[in-house]
Amino acid sequence: MHKTRSESAELAKALVEQLKGGKHKYLVAPSFTSLETVAAIVKGTNIRLGAQDCACEEQGAHTGEVSVLQLKDLGVQTIILGHSERRHIYKEDDALINKKVKLALQHGFEVILCIGELLEEREAGRVEEVCETQTVKGLEGVSAAQLANIVIAYEPVWAIGTGKTATPEDAEAVHAFVRKVLARLYGEDAASKIIIQYGGSVKADNAAQLMAKENIDGALVGGASLKADTFVPIAKFD
């Protein structure tokens, strides 16, 4: 819930300019109110347009919600679903998130499915259990063909906005485990191709170490994405 339309436009223009010719895949996901503004700026560039959430129904009397049809109309290509704040502040459960995932896929969107454990779950030794449940239930009914449009984002909740980061080794262990879960569900080939991102206090000074790990394929960046001078160094990591 950051930035007015004019502030979003300023940031989007800076990113378009500074990420031009970059070798990675880039995405910005502004607030709903800024989507149309940013869509016009990133159109035809190497930056994809994402939304932070969508409703679980296609349309109808759902006051305050935003439909996949409305997002498609704005040029949105990717939808982030199951973000930890949606799960823990707004009490979205795996069944609701799964409904959103299937609806977004049905309408041709790429989906970033977020998973991750709370601090008390980590301390109780339940990291793998929590991440497996969220992955399996989030992807229930998703076909092998549809998996090509899924990105998994592992975000340990205790590392979001806290300044704490899972060590590259901790993050890699969970990413490798999630890939094994995906291999069991969809086969080794599909699991090896899927992008699994890390989210949780990613900054310019830890991005390269995280990305160097075999099973960490990208980053879901929070606070550091709010300024070009903190986001661009992450986006351009070698």
Q: Which residues are catalytic?
A: 83, 155
Neighbours of 62 (CB within 10 A): 12
Burial 160-193 (b: 16+ CB within 10 A, else e): beeeebbebeebbbbbebbbebbeebbeeebbee
